[in-house]
Amino acid sequence: MLSQTMKAVTLSPTSISHGPKVFHYGMKPADVGLTQDMPYFRTIETEGSPPITYLHLYECNKFSIGIFCLPPNGVIPLHNHPGMTVFSKLLFGSMHIKSYDWANLPQNASENLNSSYFKPPGVQLAKVKVDSVLTAPCSTSILYPADGGNMHCFTAVTSCAVLDVLGPPYSDPEGRHCTYYLDFPYSSFSDDAGAVAENERESYAWLEEKEKPDDFNVVGAMYRGPKIVK
């Protein structure tokens, strides 16, 4: 079943838009060789964010598949997926997800925003797509190049595992570089022109590019689940 899922993700626009059904309903931790008592998921006393384990399943030029294993309080910081479609399936546990898309304001509001705001260079306005806790079993999250929360942050409420399918995968030579961000509340900068209505401002934030966080530590481990069949 897992190998059939991989083939389904290869990907016509139709198959992407509907999503492989196994990701929505059928997949369990045991299907990919995971149990909740594995060392990856143990609580760790550490300063900053605890290390996260990544299990690499498969990659080609069309898509990549991997599993992020997070202990409690593990964080995958806010980052983007340029030109990519991503399926994220929470296999077990609870996780807080906060995601954004770039703001798409009417032209006159955008002009007012640019003229009325004092903000550092490189800071852009984004709209919150998701800000909630998910608990498995739950539906698969799907993000698209310009919609669905293309920039997201994961924080483990409990130990949890997330299966990610990225199509196409990150590639610096092809312009798909992973960029990290800081997010600031909308109120961080003054808005004299009222470009965004006051009752909507909590749905917006300012994003600023940053280097990969020093405490974001991802450790690779051997995938020991079912063999991936091309």
Q: Which domain holds residue 193?
A: 2-221
Query: For residue 18, is pLDDT > 60?
Result: no
Whether 49 is in a domain gets the answer yes
pLDDT of residue 198: 79
Whether 229 is in a domain gets the answer no
Whether 226 is in a domain gets the answer no
Average pLDDT value for residue range 100-125 = 69
How many C-beta neighbours within 10 Å does residue 130 have?
Answer: 15
Whether 134 is in a domain gets the answer yes
Confidence label for 121 from pLDDT (cuts 50, 70 and 90): confident
Whether 195 is in a domain gets the answer yes
Whether 227 is in a domain gets the answer no
pTM of the model: 0.84
DSSP string for 184-214: EEGGGS--TT--S-GGGGGGEEEEEEEPPPT
Domain of residue 92, CATH code: 2.60.120.10
Average confidence score pLDDT of the chain: 85
Whether 228 is in a domain gets the answer no
Q: Enumerate residues 6+ apart whose C-beta is below 8 A from 61.
A: 168, 169
Asked if 153 and 75 count as a contact pair (C-beta separation under 8 A), the reply is yes
**pLDDT higher for 142 or 47?**
142
pLDDT of residue 118: 56
Number of domains in the chain: 1
Whether 120 is in a domain gets the answer yes
Confidence label for 197 from pLDDT (cuts 50, 70 and 90): confident
Q: Enumerate residues 6+ apart whose C-beta is below 8 A from 116.
A: 190, 191, 192, 193, 195
Percentage above 90 pLDDT, the chain? 65
Query: For residue 115, is pLDDT > 60?
Result: no
Query: For residue 169, is pLDDT > 50?
Result: yes
